[in-house]
Structure 1
Amino acid sequence: MNLEKKVAVITGASRGIGRSIALNLAKQGVRLVVNGTNVTRLNELAEEIHHEGQSCVVVAGDASHAETAADLVQAATKHYGSIDILVNNAGINLRRSTLETELQEWKKVLDINVTSAFLLCKAVLPVMMKQRKGKIINISSTTAKTPHKNASPAYGVSKAGLNYLTMHLAQEMAEHNIHVNAVCPGPIETDMSKQWSEPYRAAVIDKIPLKRIGKSENVADLVSFLASDLSDFITGQTIHINGGSYMN
């Protein structure tokens, strides 16, 4: 995929899909700056990547804060001199109905799921514009396209907003040779899905044509493709990866 020596900034990298994305890119020679709020897990990830002979810098902090975005850009440019790939993966879910959702909960979900991506893009884009190239991949969800009883309205709204941000930036940044796409995973095996009851898991699998739940590595493979030269004529897209549970 011609990713050797590229530089990637990844938010929400301490576990789940974000961790798999970091490990996948590292195996292909990408130099990393990883972010999250769990310092212990981030350091463990960096140690694993270093053990494989690749470079990884840890920048802990809340991705919904402008200061964290600035710190990530500074770390990438200081250590590597460029930023080729940005993966906005930081996100949280909230399992509340509309009437149960408090205003502060609503704001927190939107801040982490979509405002963080806005702040990271705003911080990274000047570097990519100067380079005349870049790949931005936003990790969204099929919940952005169809409601889900197991997710709050705040989660769906935040991911729908992320999809629009993806399209807007793709149009705005095309003249600078910057590609912006979103990945919309469906049911994926993560720490969250491991907490499902067996009846609920069976019900989820029954609705998937491929009759299995995806792996975080499946999402990581798609992200690597979008980060590579193989995707050079793809921008402004929201790409589904869900075993057929949502088709468009």
Structure 2
Amino acid sequence: MYVSLQNKVAIITGASRGIGRAIAEALACEGVRVVLNGTNDMLLQEVCSSLNKKEKRAVYVAGDASLPETASSLVEQAKTHFGQIDLLVNNAGINLRKSTVETSLDEWKRLIDINLTGTFLMCQAVIPDMIKQQGGKIINMSSTTGKTPHHNASPAYGASKAGINYLTMHLAKELAEHHIHVNAVCPGPIETDMSKQWSDEYRRSVLDRIPLKTIGTPEQVANVVTFLASDQSDFITGETINMNGGTYMN
């Protein structure tokens, strides 16, 4: 139990399913009040309803994370309902599995807009309040594909995650004097709705490349995010933490 997280307030993007939902559930279990974002109104309602069974700890804002108005609305809702913003988890993102020549300009722009620009806009929106209170934690969801090429990911995806890694380090340096910690988590293969669509052959090929011979779970990612959100990580900033069973090490 992380006592330091009791009654903190977190904004979590991409929170309607998979890793984002697991993060929301893990933080709520630690006493964090959460403002959730995603594009599927019905799924967000379901997550909020589940988290609010015992007490009112969750609200949501449906909207595109790549738009500045979504970021502004999330900040407004956090302050209106809970009075503050202590944590930001940038989890919203999309993937694309196309080669360079197959990727259209619209696909490139859309992926960069959601993954990288959306992360930037959310950081930009919460920073003034975190500076005012002289503290906060920002956790960006990246990928090991941002550090090393992957044959099954488009260059747009890898470029967006590499951009998130740099943004994380830059903000950590820029905001350290205000006691704002900025870190990123770089998962490898994780059991999500997407991985359930893999063929048996592809799953075997993924497992063959993982030294630990297992695929990660959303809950394991959420555990790392919860640690980074707590005061037990107070001497960690500017890190891009690998979570991939040993596939990529640095």
Shorter-chain TM band: over 0.9
Secondary structure of 1:234's partner? coil
Q: Could you report, residue by residue, the CA deviation over 1:24-60 in whole angstroms, capped at 9, with x for unpaired residues?
A: 0001100000000000000000000001435101101
Structure 2 Cα separation of the partners of residues 94 and 121 of structure 1: 24
Map 1:225-240 onto structure 2 (within 5 A).
Answer: 225-240=227-242
Query: How many residues were matched structurally?
Result: 248
Question: Is residue 2:155 matched to residue 1:153?
Answer: yes
Secondary structure of 2:108's partner? helix
Q: Are the aligned partners of 1:26 and 1:54 in contact in 2 as well (CA < 8 Å)?
A: no
Q: Are the aligned partners of 1:29 and 1:54 in contact in 2 as well (CA < 8 Å)?
A: no
Question: Is residue 2:94 matched to residue 1:109?
Answer: no
Structure 2 Cα separation of the partners of residues 82 and 50 of structure 1: 19
Structure 1 Cα separation of the partners of residues 45 and 132 of structure 2: 31
Secondary structure of 2:157's partner? helix
Structure 2 Cα separation of the partners of residues 51 and 148 of structure 1: 41
What's the Cα RMSD here?
A: 0.7
Amino acid paired to 2:113: D
Q: Could you report, residue by residue, the CA deviation over 1:104-156 in whole angstroms, capped at 9, with x for unpaired residues?
A: 10000000001001000101000000010000000000000111111100000
Identity level (%): 67
Task: Look up the match of 1:50.
Answer: 52
Amino acid paired to 2:124: K
Amino acid paired to 1:203: S
Task: Look up the match of 2:225.
Answer: 223
Question: Is residue 2:32 matched to residue 1:30?
Answer: yes
Amino acid paired to 1:45: V
Structure 2 Cα separation of the partners of residues 115 and 171 of structure 1: 19
Structure 1 Cα separation of the partners of residues 209 and 202 of structure 2: 11
Q: Could you report, residue by residue, the CA deviation over 1:208-234 in whole angstroms, capped at 9, with x for unpaired residues?
A: 111110000000000000000000000
Do the aligned partners of residues 121 and 69 (structure 1) sit closer, same or farther apart at CA in structure 2, a change above 3 Å counting? same
Question: Is residue 2:112 matched to residue 1:93?
Answer: no
Equivalent residue for 2:123, pick from 121, 124, 137:
121
Q: Could you report, residue by residue, the CA deviation over 1:54-110 in whole angstroms, capped at 9, with x for unpaired residues?
A: 510110100100000000000001111110000000000011100000001000000
Task: Look up the match of 1:3.
Answer: 5
**How much does 1:245 deviate?**
1.0
124-133 or 51-60, larger mean C-alpha shift? 51-60
Task: Look up the match of 1:62.
Answer: 64
Structure 2 Cα separation of the partners of residues 117 and 230 of structure 1: 24
Task: Look up the match of 1:163.
Answer: 165
Regions of 4+ moved over 3 Å: none
**How much does 1:19 deviate?**
0.5
**How much does 1:206 deviate?**
1.2
Structure 2: unaligned runs, 5 residues or longer: none
Structure 1 Cα separation of the partners of residues 54 and 5 of structure 2: 16
Amino acid paired to 2:98: R
Secondary structure of 1:189's partner? coil
Structure 1 Cα separation of the partners of residues 247 and 196 of structure 2: 19
Task: Look up the match of 2:211.
Answer: 209
TM-score, normalising length: structure 1: 0.99
Q: Are the aligned partners of 1:8 and 1:86 in contact in 2 as well (CA < 8 Å)?
A: yes
Question: Is residue 2:216 matched to residue 1:185?
Answer: no
Amino acid paired to 1:25: L
